[in-house]
Each structure stands twice: as C-alpha cells, then as structure tokens.
Structure 1
C-alpha cells in the first residue's frame, strides 16, 4: 500500500438480500465515510461509491454500494478494505494532529536518541491504539501503547517519534513453596 492511500473502512457480510452490506467505518464520525466520494480497494482496481448509509451501532454501518444489487455481489466483497486517496481527506488543522497512516514508517527512538525500531502499523483491538514496531535489532515486532506517556513526541517533519517503553513485568509471582 502506498502512503497516499488511507484506510477508511472494511466491508463486512451482506445485510439482507438486496445488496446491502455491513461496513466498519474508521472515520471519526462513522457516517462521514460516505462523504469522501469514490473509494477504492488497495490495488486501486475496483472503485466503490456509497449510495446510502445508516448507522446500526457505534462504528458499524449498513451501506448500499453503486452496482451491488443482490446478496451474492455483496458477499463477494466481504472483507474488502476501502481506501481514500490522501487528497480526498481534509488537511490536519493543528500541529499535533495527523492521520494514523502518517505514523507508519516513522523511526522510533528512545529519549536519548537511541534507535528502537520502525512503526509497522497502528492497531486497535478495542482498548486504544497500539503501535506495532519492528525492532532496530531485528526479531519479532513489539507493541507499544499509543499514549502520551509512552509516545510523548511525534515529529512528522523529522520522520520520527520518541518512545518511553513501559517497564515490562513478568507474570504473577511464584507462590511460596509450602513446608513439608
């Protein structure tokens, strides 16, 4: 995926038999996804126009797409990710605002400037955003909570962010051995 594409939502299962389908929206206001005009899949081979949308819960919509008129066509699009181009999005209004996609590829450094790694993705499993970071030393990616305490500085112009990783704790303490 190029950095010019911004993930806006993911199509879900069909809803009914007339081509409507579920859509998980990643926009701040879920219904606003319909205002961005033509969206595309990641390779840009297919274009999608949302004809109607209604909110069914928090960030889940039921939508009708142009050209999708039955359940089979809707089912064929299940799990399709919808993208907007960067120029379809409004500019950020403040210095400390950015799109999550802007974080991918940034260098992650400790407060002393020592390299920690590179941001691979911004994830959300329901309890807040998490940065997936490929360590500079290699190995398995690490996860950092995307909070002001852990990521106090995001410097897009310099292509980096500063991280103060939380102190790791091992699992529960071993129970004391019982005397025999």
Structure 2
C-alpha cells in the first residue's frame, strides 16, 4: 500500500497575489486544511494551506510562502500528498483509497488474471477503472471499465485483486491497423 495518499493538485495561478487553483480529491474538500503538512510526491517539500475558498469547479488556495504569481506558477500541476497515517481508515469494505487499487490484479469472474490496475479516472460521468491488459490477444495499452458494482463486483484490497464482470471483459483483439498483415488473403 502507498505510504502517501494524493489529496489535491495545484492548478494554475489565480490572480497576481500568489493564490492558486486547487483541485481537492478528499471526500470532504474542506478537510484538506486539516492535513498539515502537505508534501510533494517525494515527501521532501512541505506545504501548508493558509486559506481556502470555493470557486466554480475548484478551490482557490493561498499557500504559505507563496506571495506572487511567479511563485504560484512554479507550483502548477504539483500533486499534494499526506502520510497514510494522517487519514482515517476506510469506513467499510466498500470504501478505500484509490492509491490502494493501483497495481492490483484485474481478474475475470473465473479468476483468470486479465490485467493490472493503472489508474482510476473521473471524466465527469463517474469513476472509471483503467487497467493494462495482460491477455495476449489484446493490443490496447490500457482498457477502461466503469467502476461500479455491475462492472467491478469485487474489490479485494487485502487479496490484491479486483474482479471485472464478464460482460465488461475485453477479449477480442484490437482491429488491425491499416496496412498491417493479418495473415489472411
């Protein structure tokens, strides 16, 4: 399991006084103020949010020590993490941190490993589980399935696997690219 959990990402500067757009990934976005300090991915650089306010589809944050637009620009796209022990444990078996899913085996309902989880995405219509397939006939670099009980009925973090329902398993090879030899006539 990951020792640091991603809780926010700094976006572009907001104004000229060093404020930044902040995209928060915690269930309660205001909780990001309770995590002190926040760190970069290495855990070496530390950050403290001095003020936070809601905006249209993000938050606007003032980060201690960042006083102008130039300093804020240097933080654009910086991921902010907290140590795992700073977060509460999941409430139940259906609650988990996305970081705990990365690297889990993706198996079909028969238990055959068909890939490894590489990411969870949210493009606005709900979470999507992205995995790198291991089936030899699949040419795609990654495949995506809805991260719902219908598509992913079992998430077994201790067992290091997720089960994808058969209706969502991609078993056919990708279409041959133009000019690719398919072995036929």
Cα distance in 2 between the residues matched to 1:159 and 1:141: 19
- Aligned match for 2:59, one of 55, 58, 61: 61
Cα distance in 2 between the residues matched to 1:167 and 1:70: 50
How well do the aligned residues superpose, as a CA RMSD in angstroms?
2.0
The alpha carbon displacement at 1:167 in A equals: 7.0
Q: Number of residue pairs matched?
A: 168
1:4 matches 2:3: yes
Secondary structure, aligned partner of 1:72:
helix
Cα distance in 2 between the residues matched to 1:10 and 1:159: 27
Partner residue, 1:107? 105
What is the TM-score with the length of structure 2 in the denominator?
0.84
Cα distance in 2 between the residues matched to 1:46 and 1:131: 30
**2:38/2:48 contact within 8 Å kept:** yes
The alpha carbon displacement at 1:18 in A equals: 1.4
Cα distance in 2 between the residues matched to 1:167 and 1:12: 35
Cα distance in 1 between the residues matched to 2:91 and 2:30: 21
* Structure 1: gaps of 5 or more residues: 169-180
What is the TM-score with the length of structure 1 in the denominator?
0.86
Alignment of 1:85-164 (within 5 A): 85-137=83-135, 139=139, 140-164=141-165
Cα distance in 1 between the residues matched to 2:142 and 2:169: 17
**2:108/2:169 contact within 8 Å kept:** no
Cα distance in 2 between the residues matched to 1:93 and 1:147: 18
